[in-house]
Amino acid sequence: MLRVVLPAGLTVAFVAVVVAAVFEDGRATAPSPGGSPEPGGGEAVGPRVGDHWHAVYEYIVCGETQPPAPTRSGSGVHTHSDGIIHIHPFAPGEEGAGARLVKWFEYGGGLLDEDEVRLPGAAVTYENGDECPDGTIGTVQVFVNGERLTDYGRYIPQDGDRIEIVFGPEGSSSGGR
């Protein structure tokens, strides 16, 4: 008798596992490839003390890729002159929103706001409306994994992201080479 019941029970268990796996997969496509912070609560997903995330960035001015920002490690949101934003918060103030891209600029003595950009360590600040050498009008733009972000002031780099900070003609992402 038990032998008849068992296979049916196993089938149900198998289906349950498949369904669970599908849900698990759906969630895994959400923000955090590193998987470190707990997604949930509806809050912006950001790093916590103890996480160590990396996002590659490129700073492009009027079509020219600029040298990476110099090494700076006073904050947990920093860089090692390697074209990578390192996020390993040391203190609660560097967690979550404290690890936004605009804060990485700020911690390094640079500037990124809605209409101005200056890479940490760079001398020149570019402002919307400034002219490029070829006479085109530049604007500040941020692309993440090839997509333009309109609200980049709130953007927290996620582990594995590819970021382009552009000053140049509208829509001038390099297309995520």
Of the pair 58, 159, the CB lying nearest Zn ion is at 159
CB of residue 95 vs Zn ion: minimum separation in angstroms? 16
Task: Report the residue number, 82 or 113, with the smaller CB distance to Zn ion.
Answer: 82
Nearest to 161 by CA among 175, 143, 173: 143
Task: Compare residues 82 and 114 and give the one whose CB is closer to Zn ion.
Answer: 82
Q: How far is the CB of 79 from Zn ion (least distance, A)?
A: 8
Residue 59 Cβ vs Zn ion, minimum distance, rounded to whole Å: 18
Contact status: 118 vs Zn ion (CB under 5 A): no
Stretch that binds Zn ion, among 8-16, 79-87, 96-104, 108-116 (CB under 5 A): 79-87
Is residue 100 a contact point for Zn ion (CB under 5 A)?
Answer: no
8 A C-beta contact, residue 142 and residue 113: no
Distance CA 116, CA 112 (A): 6
Cα 27 from Cα 38, distance rounded (Å): 11
Beta strands 162-168; 53-61: pairing state: parallel
| Bridge partner list, 87 | 53, 77
- Nearest Cα to 54, choosing from 35, 30, 79? 79
Residue 120 Cβ vs Zn ion, minimum distance, rounded to whole Å: 14
User: Of the listed pieces 9-17, 78-86, 90-98, 163-171, which binds Zn ion according to CB under 5 A?
Assistant: 78-86
157 close to 104: Cβ distance less than 8 angstroms: yes
Amino acid at 160: G
Q: How far is the CB of 73 from Zn ion (least distance, A)?
A: 6
One-letter amino acid at 83 equals G
Task: Tell me the residue type at 7.
Answer: P
DSSP 8-state code for residue 33: T
Of the residues 46, 61, 62, 86, which one makes contact with Zn ion according to CB under 5 A: 86
Which residue's Cβ has the minimum distance to Zn ion? Answer: 86
Interaction between residue 72 and Zn ion (CB under 5 A): no
Q: Which chain residues interact with Zn ion by CB under 5 A?
A: 86
